[in-house]
Amino acid sequence: MIKRLAIIGVGLIGGSLSLALKKAGVVGEVVGYSRTESVREEALELGVIDRTACSVKEAVKDADMVFLAVPMAAMESVLIELKDHIAENAIITDGGSAKGQLVDIAKRVLTDKFSQFVPGHPIAGTEKSGPSAAFATLYRKHRVVLTPVAETNKDALEKVRTMWQATGAEVFEMDVKHHDVVLAATSHLPHVLAFNLVGMLAERDDCDDVLRYAAGGFKDFSRIASSDSVMWRDICLSNSEAILGLIQQYQQGLSELERAIKDQDGETLKTVFERAKQARDTRFKD
């Protein structure tokens, strides 16, 4: 049971955690803070949180659990703001999509309180954002990855695990670096690819005409290009090493397909397409 949960960033991720824990009846009071006043007011009006705070400092006061759901670039300043104001033994956890850089920042900023920080990443979301996008079942049957390090307090880790389990999520532990590569491959790179395609089409003079003839395949493929640009800018900058490695590998593959098309080398095309289809059909479980 969490007596008081402070949520910094009451959008889709933070708001949905609040709604899920309230629904499960495992949280006393949820205090929410977002930098933009209208956003926190909206979260309050929608019943996503119980009370708003005017600052990070005020939000974390007397909270036993603090959840950070701000864009990656804002994590450091939030950690700096809260460091001297959290309660003794309060646990801090987060929902950031890249963990390596954040763990380094948290270590540097939190110093002696770093052991109370449990790095986490709920692998769930939609292309929508803001408090109105939040819903109680977002995490149900989704995976939440925790990436504790040597210093992480075991009690804090267990409490964060219990919190996520209450939302209906499956909780896994993973090494920080492995997490960042896995997420770069299945989420960060696909977002970059989709943004790049739609951005390129948007620059065409005949963009509207082109998009008019786009079918269902394009709709699904490009849905993630509708995601929040600031959030994704920050993820790219935070997880740059893993993403860059995969972009390079991706470009090599694309150049090979380009060559095959140029040379009318149907054998290579069929082999690559078949390998992909096989993996998508048999190894990817929804």
**CB-wise, 54 or 261, nearer to a second copy?**
261
Tell me the closest approach of the beta carbon of residue 85 to a second copy, in angstroms: 29
Tell me the closest approach of the beta carbon of residue 146 to a second copy, in angstroms: 13
1 touching a second copy, by CB under 8 A: no
285/185 Cα distance (integer angstroms): 16
**CB-wise, 3 or 277, nearer to a second copy?**
277
Phi, psi of 61 (to 5 degrees): -60, 125
20/139 Cα distance (integer angstroms): 8
**CB-wise, 78 or 198, nearer to a second copy?**
198
| Position 211, amino acid | L
**CB-wise, 112 or 263, nearer to a second copy?**
263
Task: List binders of a second copy among 7-26 (CB under 8 A).
Answer: none
217 touching a second copy, by CB under 8 A: yes
Q: Which of 100, 243, 260 is nearest to 174 (CA)?
A: 100
**CB-wise, 50 or 127, nearer to a second copy?**
127
Mask 232-261, x = binds a second copy (CB under 8 A)?
xxx-xx--x--xx--xxxxx-xxx-xx-xx
21-29, 77-85, 160-168, 229-237 -> range binding a second copy (CB under 8 A): 229-237
Instruction: Please select the residue that binds a second copy; options are 36, 55, 162, 186, rule is CB under 8 A.
Output: 186
Instruction: Please select the residue that binds a second copy; options are 1, 3, 162, 202, rule is CB under 8 A.
Output: 202
221 touching a second copy, by CB under 8 A: yes
Long-range Cβ contact pairs of 203-211 (< 8 A, separation 24 or more): none
100/183 Cα distance (integer angstroms): 12
Cα–Cα distances (Å) from 6 to 60, 66, 244, in that order, read: 6, 5, 34
